Chain A
Amino acid sequence: MKKLYAILAVCGAVALVPAFVSSGFALNLVIMTLYATLLGQAWNILAGYGGQYSFGHAAFFGTGAYASAALQVHLGVNAWLCLPVAVACGAAVGALVGALSFRYGLRGSYFALVTLAFAEVLRILANSVGFTGGGVGLLVPLKSSALDFQFHGKAGFLYVILALTLAGFLLSWWLERSRYGAWLAAVRDNEESAAALGVNAFRVKLLAIVLSAALMAAGGAFYVQYFQYIDPHLAYGPSVSVEALLGPIVGGLGTVFGPLLGAAALRLLGELTRNLMGEAPGVSLVIYGAVLILMITFLPRGLGGMFVRRPPSAA
């Protein structure tokens, strides 16, 4: 229960931010941190709690983004209605990828590679078919009204992304205390033993990838509303997949607060390097790559692992 209160306290504190801060820069900083948290939470469900490392989470992100954008542009559907549809589309792609790869027992590196390949296939398709606008991408029409999921200031976006992040928090919290979460952890730690005890590993992993993909697709739909533009590289390119995995690894894999901690630390680092080095292309990603290597070498349990004492696991 303590963790639930902590979650509510953190989200409540963030909800108060727009009351005291009006600078667009600061609000944007909070929004982007929460957005990175959401992507990290999505990845963390599958990798942190489920032990399945995906390198192609962009497949779900991009599907959510394109579902929402295409419905608005081509059919004029209200953006709020597009959000659940986008989540459903992302979850469906997750179910497809999961059903195929888990059905054939892909694990570890093979799973990482096949997810990457799925994302690449979708990127090429998005580049080639008509309704995605091809390489030009889709521009969401400007409406600037809360009824259309577009807000005048940044505060509205902040509350939306906060609500989505809260959903991600609650999902992670539920995974830590539910029977299903215990099954998932059992499959992560030793799939054979879990199966021997009667856990249906295939179904457990499938649900994990569906939940993870749904959250990722929500992130994609939010991205489209916030930036009002999507193209194949933004949607399905490798940088989204990297952003999703970086946060939890830096913050602490398989923990409730790991994605937030990681997202905040990386955002801070990103702003710091921007101030020190200017807007030179590539610098921030060089640093991210170095952070990734250093974290895995020296702090494999993430920043959160420094504060929490846990018996060293056998894995």
Chain B
Amino acid sequence: MLEPSILFASVLNGLTSGAVYALVALGLTLIYGVLHIINFAHGALLMIALYGVYFLGAKLGIGPYAALPVMIPAMFALGYVLQRFVIGRASHGKDENILLVTLGLTLILENFALFAWRSDTRTIETPYTFSTVDIAGAMIATPKVFAFFGALAATAILLAFITRSDLGRAIRAVAKERQGAKLVGIDVEHVFAMSFGIGLACLGAAACFLLPAYYVNPQVGNGFVLIAFTIVVLGGMGSFAGALVGGFIIGVVESLGGLWLGESLGQIGIFVIFIAILLFRPKGIFGAGA
């Protein structure tokens, strides 16, 4: 049987991954909540952000945490342009179309990465890559500890922004009632694009926290896209609190599943949760309605 100390370390490890997952899922849930579209390209865009962080480090010597002020605005701009000029135009008012367009975007991004940067898996070296922190007897890698607190801070900033700022109010107004928001003078198209941009900015931040303890290759987004969807569905589409809680749950499930079933089979736990939630409670834990 497993010793409690191993179990404890595994749970802590899961929580640290969960924080980053939550950040990725927050972007997805924001985009869904406001635009009511499922951004299938979320994983591929995270992959692009990871490459961004990698190249900033490899070519310009900018550390992953110093890359934050570069990556966040860059991903935001990419998201704004994508929604305004590509996704928004293709929808023709049908959900399926958006899903297909974002699928097309995924194909383009992933295979462009494959073409331009080959399928090599790349990692970055930092002075703290191999150091660990002792938390009540469990050894946790230092980058994961940074990632945990960084993701929490980014989430707090995002929540404060959505609840306090004018743009945040406009975003919530559009999410609740598109027509009404338009009537009171909100530029809905602009708010859509801003929401998409902010959703991707979350990915920019997530990539900076992720890379020191992770790796990047053209397919890396695939793993994240279903994890992020699972979290979003688990927490309730459009719910921020749900994304946060869902992220931690999935992080721990993945970590414990890997402990008991091995690395590759352990992932099944996530998908089984995903299918079960979709089937039995599609509105999720915190969702108001499916």
Contact = CB atoms under 8 A, between A and B. Distances in A.
B83 to A, nearest CB: 13
Interface stretch (B63-71, B85-93, B164-172): B85-93
Nearest to B118: A281
Interface secondary structure of B, over-half rule = helix
Given A114-B279, A121-B268, A292 B274 contact: no
B74 to A, nearest CB: 21
Contact of A120 (B110, B112, B119, B226): B226
A104 B282 contact: yes
A112 B101 CA distance: 13
A236 to B, nearest CB: 12
A229 interface: no
B88 to A, nearest CB: 10
B77 interface: no
B115 A292 contact: no
A303 to B, nearest CB: 16
B268 A300 contact: no
Nearest to B282: A110
A128 B265 contact: yes
Interface string B226-239: 10010001000000
B90 A106 contact: no
A290 interface: yes
Contacts of B95: 108-109
B226 A117 contact: yes
Contacts of A289: 103-108, 111
Interface in A112-166: 112-114, 116-118, 120-121, 124-125, 127-128
Nearest to A284: B111
A101 interface: yes
B268 A125 contact: yes
A183 interface: no
Interface secondary structure of A, over-half rule = helix
A113 B278 contact: yes
A285 B111 contact: yes
A55 interface: yes
Interface residues of A, number: 43
Which of B86, B97, B271: most chain A CB closer than 10 A?
Answer: B271
A315 B92 CA distance: 10
A222 interface: no
Interface in A279-315: 280-286, 288-293, 296-297, 300, 315
A245 interface: yes
B119 A242 contact: no
A238 interface: yes
A281 B119 contact: yes
B116 to A, nearest CB: 8
B278 A292 contact: no
Interface string A89-118: 000000000001101101011101110111
A282 B115 contact: yes
Contacts of A35: none
A185 B172 CA distance: 37
B268 to A, nearest CB: 5
Given A106-B278, A242-B107, A286 B112 contact: yes
Interface in A229-265: 238, 242, 245, 249
Contact of A117 (B110, B114, B275): B275
B264 A127 contact: yes
The 3 closest A-B pairs by CB, nearest first: A289-B107, A282-B111, A292-B104
Given A55-B103, A284-B111, A286-B108, 18 more contacts: A104-B278, A113-B278, A114-B274, A114-B275, A116-B226, A117-B274, A124-B265, A280-B115, A281-B118, A282-B110, A285-B108, A285-B110, A293-B90, A293-B105, A296-B101, A297-B89, A297-B101, A300-B97
6 contacts: A103-B279, A104-B279, A109-B96, A117-B274, A282-B113, A292-B107
